[in-house]
A = this chain, B = another copy of it.
Amino acid sequence: MSETSPQFQERSIVIVGVGLIGGSIAAAVRKRFPECQVIGVGRNEERLEQARRSGLLTSWTVDLNKSTVPAGSLGIVCLPVHQIPNAVTALLDANCETVTDAGSVKESVYEALGPNPDERFVGSHPIAGSEQSGFEHADANLFRNRLCVVTTSSPEDSALSRVQRVIAFWKSLGSSVYLMSPDEHDRVLALTSHLPHILASVAASCVNPELLTFTGTGYRDTTRIAAGSAKLWASILMGNSKHCVEAIEQAEEQLRKLRESLTSGNIEALEQLWEAAASNRRSLNGNHSAPS
């Protein structure tokens, strides 16, 4: 994976939603490819102008149409999950040749879009983020050395030029890329991302503020991601409700086993359950290599 891919051929990108993720994409492109136009789209003119003045955007518009978008642009939707399909359609109706997104769920976006001729929409999920929000926290290195899942309804046919274009885009920001179908993405991410958020939220729900004095670094780290925006996370979880419910049921089964080992005083069973999970987690240290 090269730091600054020579294949970068974008002359203009259009980012709908200039928050933490959209702003970080803008920052990365502006830093690495200063000749590329970066056009921000949103509803709040004042915020967009602030983002432009801070150097993230070359221009902005609140009116997305064929006259405001250069022909052939790459469109990138960085909005909460439930707002993605409408914005994708608007970008395609304007002049964008290819559109991608940065949403944490995929199948529901494809379903809401309906037919996707020539795969003009290619889904993306950069596995990078922060519990912060707003372009003020934009980070040009947010995607560097991170994995981005690119979804296509035919992952076996990744030779499609639009899929290749989206892959090249993420690689040019320093990410490695993995191809998946939308459904496979959602099933896997329910376990690797959405369930940890749910369990962090459950842990936080059980500690009222007056007990926070008695928490340590364990509580702090385990619940860090529970502090994220409720609107954002309700949108993500609802957009992947089928697989999230399956993941919750798997967690409930594990909690039941742990509880029963405690009520029956079966310390061997408790140790085995703990060790199996600890062994999973220890595999992360040093073995966390993303496919290229």
- A interface vs B, CB < 8 Å? 127-129, 146-147, 149, 178, 188-189, 191-193, 195-209, 211-231, 233-235, 237-238, 241, 244-245, 247-252, 254-256, 258-259, 262-263, 265, 267, 270-278, 280-285, 287-291
Q: Give the residues in chain B near A223, CB-CB below 8 Å.
A: 196, 222, 281, 284
Assuming A207-B192, A287-B212, is B234 touching A274 (CB within 8 A)? Answer: yes
Assuming A203-B199, A222-B199, A265-B241, is B209 touching A283 (CB within 8 A)? Answer: yes
Q: How far is the CB of A119 from chain B (nearest CB, A)?
A: 22
For residue A260, which residue of chain B has the nearest CB?
A: B245
Assuming A222-B222, A270-B237, is B207 touching A280 (CB within 8 A)? Answer: yes
Judging by beta carbons under 8 Å apart, are B188 and A220 in contact?
no
Judging by beta carbons under 8 Å apart, are A221 and B226 in contact?
no
Judging by beta carbons under 8 Å apart, are B218 and A197 in contact?
yes
Judging by beta carbons under 8 Å apart, are A230 and B196 in contact?
no
Q: Give the residues in chain B near A225, CB-CB below 8 Å.
A: 218, 221-222
Q: Give the residues in chain B near A205, CB-CB below 8 Å.
A: 254, 273, 276-277, 280
For residue A222, which residue of chain B has the nearest CB?
A: B196
> What's the Cα separation between A275 and B285 when bound, in Å?
32
Give 3 closest A-B pairs by Cβ, nearest first. Answer: A205-B277, A230-B275, A230-B274
Q: Give the residues in chain B near A270, CB-CB below 8 Å.
A: 234, 237-238
Q: How far is the CB of A188 from chain B (nearest CB, A)?
A: 5
* Other contacts beyond A195-B203, A199-B203: 4, CB < 8 A: A204-B281, A215-B288, A222-B222, A226-B278
Q: Give the residues in chain B near A200, CB-CB below 8 Å.
A: 199, 203, 218, 222
For residue A218, which residue of chain B has the nearest CB?
A: B225
Q: Give the residues in chain B near A283, CB-CB below 8 Å.
A: 209, 212
Judging by beta carbons under 8 Å apart, are B213 and A288 in contact?
yes
Instruction: Pick the residue among B202, B234, B244 that contacts A277 (CB under 8 A).
Output: B202
Q: Give the residues in chain B near A284, CB-CB below 8 Å.
A: 212, 215, 220, 223
A–B Cβ pairs within 8 angstroms, 20 of them: A127-B214, A129-B217, A147-B214, A191-B206, A193-B218, A200-B203, A201-B273, A201-B278, A202-B258, A205-B280, A206-B251, A226-B277, A227-B278, A227-B282, A227-B285, A238-B270, A245-B259, A245-B263, A248-B255, A248-B258
For residue A126, which residue of chain B has the nearest CB?
A: B216
Judging by beta carbons under 8 Å apart, are B231 and A271 in contact?
yes
Judging by beta carbons under 8 Å apart, are B192 and A251 in contact?
no
Judging by beta carbons under 8 Å apart, are B237 and A278 in contact?
no
